[in-house]
Structure 1
Amino acid sequence: MEVSPGVLEFKAGTFTKSNTEYLKLTNTSDGPLAFKVKTTAPKLYCVRPNASIVEPGKSVDISIILQGFSQPLPADYKCKDKFLIVSLPCPDLDNPAKLSDYWPTLEAKFKSELIQKKLRVNYVITDEAEDQAPMGGAAGAVSDGNNVEKSTEPIDPRDPNPEVTSNGASHATQPAAAAAAAAGIAGVGASSHSNKSLDNSAYQHELDDSNAKINNLSNRFDSNESSVDEKEYKPPSQASRVPSEEPVAGVSMPVAVALMLVSFLLGWLVF
């Protein structure tokens, strides 16, 4: 069983995020080999697969996933974690799902042929800014290369309005687009100013109408109060005065009352 690389090295900046490295196991024997991967920090690493079978002359890749730390690691941090790869012959087993059940039997039967490979773990701690700088430069170079390649695409000479290149507009239409954008901005500003002027004039017109209505109502209210005061305090005229005692059918009120009283007494005495 060959294992590569000889040292499991993680390059994860400050190690606050998860990172994955790979091991390659190669079966150099004439028969199938069963293997298991063990570590001194099982809560920190996730191994897939951690146990399986490798056929003769075949290889298998094992992913080692390092969980991120809650705090950035200092630059002088030394990792003491280790991995152990154990392999055994398994001539009568071809199902990796049953390996965990048959492992004690294989270990007892082929104890003399058991092979162990130890791996040391190393952390390469760098600043995140240093890691991102080369990536940004490479991305910029790729982007520039794409722009150059796309900008050389042929344009149909029969097209009177060449429009599209890779960056959205041809060089011929860029000045016109800039002028149109400037004119659009100016038009928006002028439109906004005219709208504000119209709004101010409309508000002033409504305010004048409201003031006129208020003055009209105030004048009407004052005139109504004056007419009421005149009606209340104007002395009655001679023509409107009515005598307190008006004759009833040519007979004064006292005489009529006396006649009614006499009639009542006569009726009471007679009947």
Structure 2
Amino acid sequence: MSIELDPSELTFQRPFTSEVTQTLHIRNPNFEPVVFKVKTTAPKQYCVRPNSGRIESGKEVEVQVLLQTMKSDPPADYKCRDKFLVQSISITADREATNVQEIWSHVEKTEKSAIRERKIRVVYLPAGESTGSVHDGASISDNANREASFMSSPPPYATPAGDNGRPTTANDGNTSSELAAARATIARLEVELNNATARLDSELNSVGSRLRRTAGAAADAKGRVTEGAAGMGVMTHPPEGIPVQICAALCLATFLLAWFFF
């Protein structure tokens, strides 16, 4: 259930004072789809696009491996010790509805033995020299030494920067701890927000109660003032016109005076 890689080693040609890109072809010869992930021993030195993904049965994907710009070229006799690790795992029926990140997270925790790995060595070429000339000029002993070095205990691998431009470390324990800490912080903030909301509601209710009591007291005071004024005989409105009884009495008095004197 392993995947096929082409080329079998990544060669980068000088000068390295500008970005150099190599294409890696990853093919899936299996009857089931697979997911893959690319890691390297120098994640800050390389950018891989895409650094993970899915490959259908019988298909292949092109992965661009970019060597970041260096301030100056390393010495001519410098032997690059960088390596790449391509991991893959089959997508079974129970994983079809799961995305790539969730598949890797689950497998790396519970089914590490199901992961297939392929290693790739990195070679720095002199300017103007092809890949074939390096292999043709290398002696059998040099090839044997390189193979022995390649098969020795590998240095720690990490996922290089991908489409998001940010390297992802391969230390799953630290990632899980950071995720747990972030979730704990979110939960604490939610509790604080709920407490603050409850306190605000309580304050608003208290203010509303005080306003209602103030309005009631003002209405009571107004009523007492009105009743007091009525008790003291204070009229709130001036009298309008002369009563009918007074008018009748004046008319009668006028008639009697006229009768007696005239």
- TM-score grouping bracket, smaller chain normalisation: 0.3 to 0.5
Q: Please tell me whether Structure 1 or Structure 2 has the larger radius of gyration of its CA atoms.
A: 1
Normalising to structure 2: TM-score of the pair?
A: 0.45
